[in-house]
Chains A and B, each alone.
Chain A
Amino acid sequence: MGDQGDGLSALVEELAELLRVEGALLRLVEPAGDARLIGAGELSGGLMAAAAVAPMTLRDQSEARTLRQLESGDLLRAAHGRGDALGVAVRSSTGAFFGELWALSITQRGFSRADRRGLGLFAAEISRHLDRVRIVEDDSVLFGDSDARYAAIVEAMAEGVVVQTRDGRIIAANRAAEVILQMSGDELRGRTSLDPGWRAIREDGSPFPGTEHPAMVSLQTGQPLHGIIMGVRRGERPPTWISINSVPLFHHGDPAPVGVIASFSDITTLKRVEEELATSVGYFRRFFELSVDGIIIGHPNGRLLDANPAACALLRRSLSEMRALGRGGTVDPADPNIRRYLEIRAECGVVRGPLRLIRGDGTILHAEHAAMDFHVDDGDNFTVITFRDAEGERRFERAKRDFLAMVSHELRTPLTAIRGTLGLLAGGVLGDLKPEGVALVRAATDNAARLARLISDLLDSSSMDAGTFSIVASPFSLAALLDEVTATVEPLLGSAGVTLTRVRDDDDAAYGDRFRLQQVLVNLIGNAIKYSPPGATIEVDVHHREGGGLRVEVRDRGPGIPPEDQRRLFERFVQLDPSDSRRRGGAGLGLAISKAIVDAHGGRIAVDTREGGGSVFWFEIPGPPRELAVVE
């Protein structure tokens, strides 16, 4: 603080000169409570001598007492045997007390008002000077370079820091070091890297010899080391992983390090996340390599980032060929679906369906594919495409369809002869039968009809599987349809002892797949008959809806269907009570097929509980398409 002292000394000297007094004295109270004296003038030597004589007096005594002594001239008298003093307080701009400024006279000339004013001006000048210095000093409290401050910074660090001597002994450790190494400072001090109190391991799990500890290596070589990773195991606990830096310490002129500072951070969490990531990446990589489906990953800039071995095999190209072609290069540009796929993907982010790809030899691969876009942080759009050869599946589906058609034909042909013969017998064409014969032939006829229905249902079910279930809609006569339905179910009604009533509005025009709708009605009425007690009446109610559509209800007085089963009823192979199937007959396909037919019409089908017991099976179908309605 030489500057401060010099500046103040000059002011004090100037004061003495200006007031023509033998001495001037500035007494400053330091923040720590000590007093500092700056003197000037002829008296100063003596005054300082006085201060030296009674340094403790001046240093330790209170402000009030010093003032009193000075004012009473005690100090001057003590030094010179006589004298007067004029004093003024020196305060900071904020009013804080810095100390006092004194003019001292031993000539006993007395002080004028001008002297007082002059002293006040000097005191103000000294205040300004001190204000400037104090601000600088306040900053240096924070940024000064004392050991204590370094120690505080080190103590506050999240990184562990230990200081080791030339022989590797730990002589200091901060709080973070204690936490990371899970040892108290006392436990740490005195240990060395060679005998650390824990087992050090490398990343591969092998022991980490103490001699290779970065602190020891830095001591050995005089070179700093950075980012050495070490696992610290105490007992059977999982290791704490640390990343260590070591910096050797030198004394001036001594080439050999006198010690080393090792700092380390706990990277256990980081390492675990890294390992999990590596495991996860490894897992997906294996999945990618092993998948029997082709997988292509496309980069937003159009490059093909990666393709798995299955993709290369399916497309008969090497990975480098695929890369050279880019992400879209293997897609057949003539595939009519591409534009639609791109639109769907832009909207939904994911699309699936058949896709034509071009193999390395120029042939077309009919693939089934799924593509999904995914965004990364910077907003780019990567795409994953998986695909498989669908030709085999298509061939299989075709073969299955052909086979089913063949089986159906082969089953129906003998059935036609059986059904026909029985029909002729029952019709009495070959003469009258005995009553038992009539009953037997009717039973055989019913069973042949059942077999025929079952074959139809299985065929329909397989069409539903293949997604080829379709309808052919056209205008038809409602009356004719209902007549045919009635004729079909007539024999069933007779044998069950159930009556059928039909209600419909006057409009005979209807639109849909007449044969399929007949199938639905026969199904629903057949079910109603199956579950109706003898003597019951089944009501069929057909009404037109707005736009030419139909609502058909089949109401029975059967046992009814619990609400929780009403939806499940329209699934395939569902018969609510499995023990029931033998008694009631049927493969559980009828309602599922009915639903498929109604769905294909764009309608809906459901069952409600009927008031007073029983069920209402109903379906609604829309009318003809608008263009058709206009044409008509």
Chain B
Amino acid sequence: MRSTEPRSVACVEDEAGIRLVLQVALGAVGGYRVALYASAAEAIEGLAADPTDVILLDVTMPEIDGKTAFRRIRELPSCRESVVIFLTAKARPEERSELLALGAADVFVKPFDPMTLARDVAAVWDRVCGFTGASARVG
């Protein structure tokens, strides 16, 4: 049921400042519909009712961390096909491979460039879904 290009992105991030940057970078710059969640619990509840094409998921969060959240979101029938990209401030190679091994589509490292973030998301979408030309929309 995937479209040729992603239309909606959910961001799960406990830092308000980063949420704000994500909102502008993906919404105003990228043109996506953006859903913001301040915690994993909020996201699981929200995504069950309102799934998105892409989910940007912070790794280090209080209470439910990104890795647990990933498994829980994957269990949601609405999000089985969502493209999940982790967002992490820890950039160790072994962490990266661990996150990919969980089934994530990619791992983005903080800090990121807000002007290219939407394009990067689209590139991952392209790679995972096999469509081409999607990146042209933001380029």
**Which of A's residues lie within 8 Å of B, judged by CB?**
405, 408-409, 412-421, 423-424, 426-427, 429-430, 448-449, 452, 456, 459, 463, 470-472, 513, 515-516
**Cα separation A514 to B5 with both chains bound (whole Å):** 27
Partner among A413, A429, A463, A515 whose Cβ is within 8 Å of the Cβ of B110: A413
Residue from A430, A456, A472 whose CB has the most chain B CB atoms within 10 Å: A472
- Does B60 contact A416, Cβ atoms closer than 8 Å? no
**Which of B's residues lie within 8 Å of A, judged by CB?**
15, 17-18, 20-22, 24-25, 28-29, 60, 89-94, 96-97, 110-115
| Residues on A with beta carbons closer than 8 Å to the beta carbon of B92 | 405, 459, 463
**Cα separation A387 to B10 with both chains bound (whole Å):** 54
- Does A515 contact B96, Cβ atoms closer than 8 Å? yes
- Does B96 contact A420, Cβ atoms closer than 8 Å? no
- Does B93 contact A423, Cβ atoms closer than 8 Å? no
- Does A424 contact B111, Cβ atoms closer than 8 Å? no
**Cα separation A200 to B139 with both chains bound (whole Å):** 105
| Residues on B with beta carbons closer than 8 Å to the beta carbon of A408 | 89-90
- Does B96 contact A472, Cβ atoms closer than 8 Å? yes
- B58 CB, min distance to chain A CBs, angstroms: 9
- Does A412 contact B89, Cβ atoms closer than 8 Å? yes
- Does A424 contact B97, Cβ atoms closer than 8 Å? no
| Residues on B with beta carbons closer than 8 Å to the beta carbon of A472 | 93-94, 96-97
- Least CB separation from A422: chain B residue: B114
**Cα separation A412 to B25 with both chains bound (whole Å):** 18
| Residues on A with beta carbons closer than 8 Å to the beta carbon of B114 | 419-421, 423-424, 427, 429
- Which 8 A-B pairs rank lowest in CB-CB distance, beginning with the nearest? A420-B21, A417-B17, A412-B89, A419-B111, A427-B115, A416-B110, A416-B111, A423-B114
What are 9 inter-chain pairs, A to B, with CB distance below 8 A?
A409-B89, A413-B15, A413-B18, A413-B110, A419-B111, A419-B114, A429-B115, A463-B92, A513-B93
| Residues on A with beta carbons closer than 8 Å to the beta carbon of B91 | 456, 459, 515
Partner among B18, B60, B96, B113 whose Cβ is within 8 Å of the Cβ of A417: B18
- Does A427 contact B112, Cβ atoms closer than 8 Å? no
Besides the known contacts A409-B90, A515-B96, 6 further A-B residue pairs in the complex with CB atoms under 8 A apart:
A409-B60, A414-B17, A415-B110, A429-B29, A456-B91, A471-B93
**Cα separation A472 to B107 with both chains bound (whole Å):** 14
**Cα separation A421 to B29 with both chains bound (whole Å):** 12
- Does B115 contact A417, Cβ atoms closer than 8 Å? no
**Cα separation A456 to B28 with both chains bound (whole Å):** 30
| Residues on A with beta carbons closer than 8 Å to the beta carbon of B60 | 409
**Cα separation A528 to B97 with both chains bound (whole Å):** 31
| Residues on B with beta carbons closer than 8 Å to the beta carbon of A418 | 111
- Does A427 contact B17, Cβ atoms closer than 8 Å? no
**Cα separation A449 to B114 with both chains bound (whole Å):** 13
**Cα separation A472 to B112 with both chains bound (whole Å):** 22
| Residues on B with beta carbons closer than 8 Å to the beta carbon of A448 | 111
| Residues on A with beta carbons closer than 8 Å to the beta carbon of B28 | 424, 429
**Cα separation A314 to B22 with both chains bound (whole Å):** 55
**Cα separation A413 to B113 with both chains bound (whole Å):** 14
- A116 CB, min distance to chain B CBs, angstroms: 124
- Does B93 contact A515, Cβ atoms closer than 8 Å? yes
- Does A424 contact B93, Cβ atoms closer than 8 Å? no
- Least CB separation from A600: chain B residue: B93
**Cα separation A123 to B97 with both chains bound (whole Å):** 119
**Cα separation A452 to B112 with both chains bound (whole Å):** 10
| Residues on A with beta carbons closer than 8 Å to the beta carbon of B97 | 472
- A94 CB, min distance to chain B CBs, angstroms: 101
| Residues on B with beta carbons closer than 8 Å to the beta carbon of A416 | 15, 17-18, 21, 89, 110-112
